[in-house]
A and B are shown apart, each in its own frame.
Chain A
Amino acid sequence: MSFYREIEPYIGALLIQMKETLSYRSDFVMQIFMRLGFPAITIAAWAAIYGATNSSTIGGLSLMSMIEYFLVTTVVFIVFFNDALWDMQWLVQSGDISAVLLKPTRFPLNIFVGGTAVTAIYFATIGVPILAFTIWLFHTQMTVSTIAVFSAYMMISLLIGFFASFTLGCLAIYFIDIGGLGMAYNWVTVWFAGGVVPLSLFPSSISSVLMSLPWAYQGYIPVSVLTGKISVAAAVALMPIGIAWLLILFAMAFVAWRFTKRYMDVAGV
Chain B
Amino acid sequence: MNNYAIEVNDLKKSYKTYESLSGEKVFLSSLRRKSKIKHALKGVSFAVKKGEIVALLGENGSGKSTLIKLLTGILHPDSGTAMVLGYVPWKERVALAQRMGVVLGAHTQLWWNLPAIDSFNYMRYMYGIDEREFHQRLDYFMDVLNLKDVYKRAVRQLSLGERMKCNFAASLLHMPELVFLDEPTIGVDLPSSFALRDTLLSLRKKYGITFIIATHIIDDVKILSERVLILDEGRKVFDGPKSRVGKMFGDLKQVEIYFNDMGSVDISSYGTVVEKKTNYVRLEIPGGMIKNRRFASLLSSGRVLDYNISEPDFGYILHKFYSKLEASKGVNRRRFE
Contact = CB atoms under 8 A, between A and B. Distances in A.
Q: Do A and B come from one complex?
A: yes
Interface in A51-76: none
A23 B27 CA distance: 9
Interface string A19-58: 1001101000000000000000000000000000000000
A188 to B, nearest CB: 28
A22 B26 CA distance: 9
B31 to A, nearest CB: 6
Contacts of B29: 19
Contacts of A23: 20, 30
Nearest to A117: B26
B337 to A, nearest CB: 33
Contacts of B26: 15, 18-19, 22
A18 B25 CA distance: 11
A22 B27 contact: yes
Interface residues of A, number: 6
Contacts of A15: 26
A173 B15 CA distance: 40
Contacts of B31: 22, 25
A23 B29 CA distance: 9
A18 B26 CA distance: 7
Contacts of A18: 26-27
A25 B32 CA distance: 9
Interface string B3-44: 000000000000000001000001101110000000000000
A13 B156 CA distance: 31
Interface string B42-67: 00000000000000000000000000
Interface string B106-117: 000000000000
Nearest to A121: B27
Nearest to B22: A19
A239 to B, nearest CB: 34
Contacts of B27: 18, 22
Contacts of A22: 26-27, 30-31
A116 to B, nearest CB: 15
Nearest to B156: A176
A37 to B, nearest CB: 23
Interface in A191-236: none
A242 to B, nearest CB: 33
A54 to B, nearest CB: 51
Nearest to A18: B26
A262 to B, nearest CB: 24
Most chain B C-beta atoms within 10 Å of own C-beta, residue among A15, A18, A19 = A19
A93 to B, nearest CB: 10
Nearest to B27: A22
Contacts of B30: 19, 22-23, 25
A23 B26 CA distance: 10
Nearest to B28: A22
A83 to B, nearest CB: 19
B106 to A, nearest CB: 15
B30 to A, nearest CB: 4
A23 B31 CA distance: 7
A246 B29 CA distance: 37
B7 to A, nearest CB: 40
A19 B31 CA distance: 9
Interface string A104-145: 000000000000000000000000000000000000000000
A15 B24 CA distance: 10
Nearest to A17: B26
Nearest to A15: B26
A87 B27 CA distance: 23
A222 B27 CA distance: 30
Contacts of A19: 26, 29-30
A186 to B, nearest CB: 25
A15 B20 CA distance: 16
Most chain A C-beta atoms within 10 Å of own C-beta, residue among B27, B29, B30 = B30
B76 to A, nearest CB: 23
A18 B31 CA distance: 12
A189 to B, nearest CB: 29
A25 B26 CA distance: 13
A25 B33 CA distance: 10
A26 to B, nearest CB: 11
Nearest to B33: A25
B29 to A, nearest CB: 7
Nearest to A21: B30
B211 to A, nearest CB: 32
B335 to A, nearest CB: 35
Nearest to A16: B26
Interface in B72-108: none
A77 B20 CA distance: 32
B107 to A, nearest CB: 16
B28 to A, nearest CB: 10
Interface in B267-296: none
Interface of B: 20, 26-27, 29-31
Given A18-B27, A22-B27, 7 more contacts: A19-B26, A19-B29, A19-B30, A22-B26, A22-B31, A23-B20, A25-B31
14 contacts: A15-B26, A18-B26, A18-B27, A19-B26, A19-B29, A19-B30, A22-B26, A22-B27, A22-B30, A22-B31, A23-B20, A23-B30, A25-B30, A25-B31
3 closest residue pairs by CB, A with B = A22-B30, A19-B30, A19-B26
